[in-house]
Structure 1
Amino acid sequence: MSKKEGKDEQKPKPKVHKDLQGFDVSIDQFGEITSNMRIEKINEFLDKNVDDKKLAERDDYDEMKKGKKKKK
């Protein structure tokens, strides 16, 4: 075990939103992102809690956000 690996184990886990409790993501030796949570669940959380900056300029953004209008 290298010195660097020992330091990672001592780090405290960051605080996360209650909906993402237990979420863990890492990058393996081949550069692949691995996670213990389904990407669909992560996307649902982001859709609900994060505003889309590109769509915010649209006139009908608030209505789309509430789900009154379907996306074109």
Structure 2
Amino acid sequence: MAKKSKKDENPKVSADLEGFKMKINSFGEISSSFSIDKINEFLNKNVDDKKLRDRDDLEEVKKKPKK
């Protein structure tokens, strides 16, 4: 039996990242369909940074619920 190619399937992603594509060209340069600022905003909102958990001077970290 022939195997199904995984290149034809799109991965399951968050609704905020719908349409996100990353490509690496022959020179090793990375290009994406989203700006770096939008990617960083998504990561700041959805990913817990364990290095910043115990800092008292960051109010954003205190307000964010731990997962």
Question: TM-score normalized by structure 2?
Answer: 0.72
Segments ≥4 residues shifted beyond 4 Å? none
Structure showing greater relative contact order (alpha-carbon pairs closer than 8 Å, 6 or more residues apart): 2
Decide whether the 8 Å contact of 1:26 with 1:35 is kept in 2: yes
Structure 1 stretches lacking a partner, 5+ long: 1-6, 68-72
Q: Give the direction of change, closer, same or farther, for the CA distance of 1:51–1:30 in structure 2 (3 Å limit).
A: same
- More helix by percentage: 1
Q: SS of the residue aligned with 1:44?
A: helix
Structure 2 stretches lacking a partner, 5+ long: none
Question: Is residue 61 of structure 2 the alignment partner of residue 55 of structure 1?
Answer: no
Deviations 1:22-68 (A, max 9, x none): 0000111000001011110010000000011211233x27733239x
The separation in 2 between residues aligned to 1:57 and 1:13, in whole angstroms, is: 37
Aligned residue-pair number: 59
Question: TM-score normalized by structure 1?
Answer: 0.68
The separation in 2 between residues aligned to 1:18 and 1:61, in whole angstroms, is: 32
Q: CA RMSD in A?
A: 2.4
